Amino acid sequence: MTRRTLTAAERGDRRFAVLAASPAVLTIGALFLYPLGYAVLLSLYRLNDKMPGATAFIGLENYVQLATDANFHQALGRTFVFCLVTVFGGVALAVGIAALLQNPFRGRNLARVLLLVPWAVPPVVNGIMWKLIFDGSYGAVNAVLEGLGLLDAPIQWLADPQLTMGVLMLSEVWKLTPFLALMTIASMQAIPSNIYRAASIDGAGGWDRFWKVTLPNLRGTLMFLLIVQSMWSIKVFDTIYVLTGGSGGPAEATTTINFLAYLTTFSYLDRGYGAALSITIMAIVIAVTGFWILVLGRRKEKAS
Amino acid sequence: MTALASPGPETPRPETTAPRDAGTVPRGRRGRRGRPRLASTIVHRAIVALLILYLTVPFGWLVVYSIYPSSNLRSTRMDFSLGDITLGEYASLLSDSSFVVPIRNSLFVATATTIICMILGSLCAYVFARFRFRGQQTLLLSMMAVQAIPAVVLAVPLFVLLRAFGLYDSLLGMILTYTAFILPLVIWMMVSFFESIPVNLEKAARVDGCTRLGIVRRVVLPLSGPGFAATSIFAFITAWSDFFLAKVLTSNTTPLLSVRTASFQGLFAMDYTAAATAGVITALPVLVLALLAQKWIVQGITEGAVKG
């Protein structure tokens, strides 16, 4: 090869790179950057479709109002509780399931394949499913409890604020955890077996191996799981909508911040305030992600 | 993955040291300890059995709700007589155009979105995997960072944007929207698959006179088969399952299946059998897809999705 053809090839390469990458980059950019800018701008306006005459630029007033908005504070508290349970419960369960399926045994593959079932069920169907299972008159849960003689009168699960929140948490964990477990299994397989061999020779039992070898080696994966699950939990919407008939009830018990943003924007038609609320949610997502990176992050390591 | 951790506890405890059978892999093999620990094996299998029930029973119940008349399913006296099983609700839903049209729409939108995402995403991911340029990490990371933006932030602006182009409430508008939302995911997954392909193969192909595009088509894509399949299924399932964007960006003229299915449940009244049947019909295509392609998905996750 002569020098000239090389530079020609390089030039061709560069052209290829730009042409190949740009459609995707531009699509993502156009459908995210413009709307994001628009949303930021919108959050600086008083714009309520129910008060068409009152539109005005008000600067940061929407955000100031958020800081003292009792509805928002309550939603924030609910979101926090919801995230606490689903993130820690979900990730712990995922690691537990992965540890259960780590070593080969007959039936392991079946269990692994079935982990895909909850993942593949669309969120709307997930909502309908749990709504039916916990239904007061036709619910499977009440039927089982009555069959066991634990129940005198049927429990109205979805009419009680606390219980509804519990059902919501259960439905989220059921749907999302198995997939996290699959990812955890994958990372566990990447742990070199020499370490386990060494640990065994040093006399470590199963528990020791799990705590002293598996978990430390899963640090990066754990960070990833916590980030992903936190994002999912903060952004939960579909299941709430279906489970509560689009209300976020009973008594607003399941109105998390994301659902409140939806209600504000699309039910109360308070677009400016809804945008401010949405931007705040985005800031929270970023803050939580940053928090996990600070707690568990290391210098970046490329996965093989 | 991560760097190797220091092995094991630092103080060896000789009294529990297992006999060293050369050649066995001691990853928790119970037989290594001389006697099989029957009790713990039984407990382990029992927990696995519970796990399998936990994963499958809820959806199984939904199927039950869809094939029995609701009068059989009162909590106080469930009646599972086989003679009462009926597929009537399936027949009536699948002959009802207000339900069939959304199925067709969703199928079209999810398929088109998947094809576009895989073409654009693969090309873009290849560039990120094989080329080095200024600002590469930043660009890749910022494309991932859009995942952090809640859809509710973008809903109103997208609505305005689509309406400006006459794409509000159209299948094309939904395809565009989903493409933007799913592309980052596709790129992220495909980059890691492409990075695992040896560069030498590509060099050989170049010597044989392949263009870059030819390399992607003839060398890279065939080698990333499982990853490609897994990513396509991801894209399809995500587009098929989305509810929020479909709810906000379409109305009744171009209904999508998830919105139609969600409409079966009201705040107070709910036709249980119809809702359950619609739910099963909505879930079944993606469920079957996921289970048929489970080998690729598991392989795909194992190969590529594990990024620390």
**Do residues A120 and B237 touch, judged by C-beta distance below 8 A?**
yes
Residue A132 with chain B: CB contacts under 8 Å: 61-62, 65, 272, 275-276
| pLDDT (mean) for A122-133 | 94
Dump pLDDT digits (tens) for A94-121. Answer: 999 999 998 888 888 899 999 999 999 9
CB atoms within 10 A of CB B21: 11
Closest CA to A42 of A29, A67, A59: A59
CB atoms within 10 A of CB B92: 13
State yes or no: pLDDT of A262 exceeds 80. Answer: yes
Dump pLDDT digits (tens) for A33-59. Answer: 889 999 999 999 998 888 877 788 898
Residue A17 with chain B: CB contacts under 8 Å: 127, 131, 133
pLDDT given at position B7? 38
pLDDT given at position B222? 83
- Establish if A296 touches chain B: CB-CB under 8 angstroms: no
Question: How many beta-carbon contacts under 8 Å exist across A and B?
Answer: 368
pLDDT given at position B307? 47
- Residue in A10, A125, A212, A224 to test binding to B, most B beta-carbons within 10 Å: A125
- Establish if B292 touches chain A: CB-CB under 8 angstroms: no
- Establish if B249 touches chain A: CB-CB under 8 angstroms: no
pTM, rounded to two decimals? 0.87
Residue A16 with chain B: CB contacts under 8 Å: 127, 211-213
CB contact under 8 A, A122 and B272: no
pLDDT given at position B242? 95
Q: How far apart are CA A74 and CA A52, in angstroms?
A: 29
Q: Which regions of chain B are under pLDDT 70?
A: 1-36, 266-269, 303-308
pLDDT band at residue A272, thresholds of 50, 70 and 90?
Answer: very high
- Chain A residue with the nearest C-alpha to that of B305: A183
pLDDT given at position B303? 67
Long-range contact set of residues A190-198: C-beta below 8 Å, sequence gap at least 24: A190/A304, A190/B1, A190/B306, A191/A217, A191/A218, A191/B1, A192/B4, A193/B25, A193/B27, A194/B7, A195/B4, A195/B5, A195/B7, A195/B8, A196/B26, A196/B27, A196/B28, A197/B25, A197/B26, A197/B27, A198/B7, A198/B8
| pLDDT (mean) for A150-161 | 87
pLDDT given at position B4? 38
pLDDT given at position B299? 78
The distance of B308 to chain A (nearest Cα, Å) reads 4
State yes or no: pLDDT of A70 exceeds 50. Answer: yes
- Chain B residue with the nearest C-alpha to that of A241: B262
State yes or no: pLDDT of A124 exceeds 90. Answer: yes
pLDDT given at position A12? 81
CB contact under 8 A, B180 and A27: yes
- Chain A residue with the nearest C-alpha to that of B249: A266
- Establish if B232 touches chain A: CB-CB under 8 angstroms: no
A 49-78: CB under 8 A from B: none
- Chain A residue with the nearest C-alpha to that of B145: A286
pLDDT band at residue A91, thresholds of 50, 70 and 90?
Answer: very high
B 132-171: CB under 8 A from A: 133, 139, 143, 146-158, 160-161
Dump pLDDT digits (tens) for A167-176. Answer: 999 999 999 9
- Chain B residue with the nearest C-alpha to that of A187: B306
Among B1, B149, B240, beta carbon nearest to A190: B1
pLDDT given at position B16? 38
DSSP H/E element including A46: strand A45-46
CB contact under 8 A, B282 and A298: no
pLDDT band at residue A240, thresholds of 50, 70 and 90?
Answer: very high
> pLDDT higher for A195 or A173?
A173
- Chain B residue with the nearest C-alpha to that of A28: B180
pLDDT given at position B30? 45
pLDDT band at residue A192, thresholds of 50, 70 and 90?
Answer: confident
pLDDT given at position B36? 59
- Establish if A170 touches chain B: CB-CB under 8 angstroms: no
pLDDT given at position B11? 36
Closest CA to A218 of A235, A195, A238: A195
